[in-house]
């Protein structure tokens, strides 16, 4: 089959052609996807993957695109966003959420059922799939502490269930990254708690987040991993880089570990600013800053320079 047939092969699935991913990323940057699909269930996701494999189309899943930078050249082949797969259910002390479910919404469902363990994630703006994929964490908690199992779709189209000992969780890492599996759903093992106390903790963490982070501007969240023995924001501040503008991107004046889009920034602005920060910190402190944000896609045909 020809690549152009994909939109007619799946008339029931919303599939956009040459759609700018800036419409979906939290930085409001990113080039076009050749094809952007929004499957609504596991079977549609599996069928799209099978079609792409038969047509030799590369496949990329971007989750909620919150901790992501898509280069300005965009992404070739098929991109899938799973946010229409967003059902959340509870069973005793477990909460199961489809990959596209909001992680924030999942914490709210847990609270409504007086289940404790997910409070740390109350303000993380990603999807459940992305959170498991990246082992998302905040305020001393990580997905690895509560993930019980996950249903994944392998690159060859097999549906598998991963158990706790198969995740190989590390700092912002899971085995799902190594095999490029697609998370379909995840089950979290929680504990009985007090609903009011759970809500109070979530409210406290969200208040702390709002006080310290630039939530009013587009960003990809925390840009860099925390280097051993250091605080990234402090290193950037002490290097005199807080507030630095690069094109339409800026090192946040509220939290130096964030880069915000203040004036129609491009992904190239973001990436050049990231590289500049890394170079300055290395020269000044001999500390290697590694990106926590996931960077994917192709560079534009002509990169602009500053």
4-28 per-position pLDDT tens digit: 489 999 999 999 999 999 999 999 9
The answer on 47 and 16 residing in a single domain is: yes
For residue 166, what pLDDT is reported?
A: 96
pLDDT of residue 290: 97
Same domain, 138 and 52: no
222 is an active site residue: yes
DSSP string, the chain: --GGGHHHH-TTSEEEEEEEGGGTSTTS---EEEEEEE--SHHHHHHHHHHHHHTT--EEE-TT-SSEEE-TT-EEEEEE--TT---EEEETTEEEEETTSBHHHHHHHHHHTTEES-GGGTT--SBHHHHHHHT-EETTEEGGGTEEEEEEE-TTS-EEEEEGGGS--BTTB-HHHHHTPEEEEEEEE-EE--HHHHHHHHHHHHHHHHHHS-TTS-EEEE-BPPPTT--HHHHHHHTT-TT-EETTEEE-SS-TTEEEE-SS--HHHHHHHHHHHHHHHHHHH---PPB-SEEES---SS----
| Six token digits for residue 67 | 């901790």
Residue 220 phi, psi (nearest 5) = -105, 20
pLDDT tens by residue, 258-297: 999 999 999 999 999 999 999 999 999 999 999 999 999 9
Which pLDDT score, from 0 to 100, does residue 5 have? 81
- Provide the pLDDT for residue 302: 66
| Same-domain status, 102 and 140 | yes
Domain count along the chain: 3
167 pLDDT tier (thresholds 50, 70, 90): very high
Residue 172 known to be catalytic: yes
Name which of 62, 154, 50, 46 is nearest 100 in CA terms: 62
Report CA dihedral (211, 214, 215, 220) to the nearest 10 degrees.
Answer: -140
Q: Which tens digit of pLDDT belongs to each residue from 120-143?
A: 999 999 999 999 999 999 999 999
pLDDT tens per residue across span 187-242: 999 999 999 999 999 999 999 999 999 999 999 999 999 999 999 999 999 999 99
Residues 60, 94: one domain? no
Catalytic choice (102, 142, 144, 172): 172
103 and 11 in a common domain: no
**Residue numbers of the domain that contains 265:** 215-296
Residue 26 belongs to domain with CATH number: 3.30.43.10
In this predicted model, what pLDDT tens digit does every residue of 86-99 receive, in sequence order? 999 999 999 999 99
**pLDDT, position 63:** 87
Catalytic-role residue among 144, 222, 272, 294: 222
Final residue in a domain of this structure, among 157, 185, 209: 209
pTM for this model (two decimals) = 0.93
Among 80, 109, 143, residue at a domain's last position = 80
Mean pLDDT of 50-69: 94
> What is the percentage of the chain residues whose pLDDT exceeds 90?
96
Asked which of 192, 209, 226 is the last residue of a domain, the reply is: 209
């Amino acid at each position: 089959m020809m690549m152009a047939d994909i939109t007619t092969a799946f008339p029931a699935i919303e599939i956009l052609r040459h759609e700018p991913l800036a419409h979906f990323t939290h930085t409001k940057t990113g080039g076009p996807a050749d094809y952007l699909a929004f499957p609504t269930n596991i079977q549609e996701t599996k069928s799209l993957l099978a079609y792409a494999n038969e047509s030799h189309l590369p496949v990329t899943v971007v989750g909620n695109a919150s901790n992501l930078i898509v280069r300005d050249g965009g992404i070739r082949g098929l991109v899938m966003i799973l946010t229409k797969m967003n059902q959340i259910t509870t069973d005793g002390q477990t909460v199961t959420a489809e990959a596209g479910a909001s992680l924030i919404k999942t914490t709210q469902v847990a609270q409504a059922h007086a289940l404790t363990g997910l409070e740390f994630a109350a303000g993380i703006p990603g999807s459940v799939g992305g959170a498991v994929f990246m082992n998302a964490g905040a305020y001393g908690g990580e997905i690895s502490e509560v993930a019980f199992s996950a249903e994944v779709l392998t690159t060859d189209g097999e549906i598998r269930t991963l158990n706790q000992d198969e995740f190989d969780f590390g700092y912002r890492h899971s085995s799902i990254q190594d095999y490029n599996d697609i998370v379909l759903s995840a089950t979290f093992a929680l504990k009985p708690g007090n609903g009011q106390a759970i809500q109070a903790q979530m409210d406290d963490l969200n208040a702390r987040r709002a006080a310290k982070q630039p939530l009013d501007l587009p960003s990809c969240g925390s840009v860099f991993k925390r280097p051993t023995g250091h605080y990234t924001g402090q290193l950037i501040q002490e290097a005199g880089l807080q507030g630095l503008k690069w094109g339409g991107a800026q090192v946040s004046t509220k939290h130096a570990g964030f880069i915000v889009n203040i004036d129609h920034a491009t992904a190239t602005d973001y990436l050049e600013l990231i590289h500049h920060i890394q170079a300055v910190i290395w020269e000044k402190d001999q500390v290697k800053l590694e990106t926590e944000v996931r960077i994917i896609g192709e560079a534009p045909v002509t990169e602009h320079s500053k």
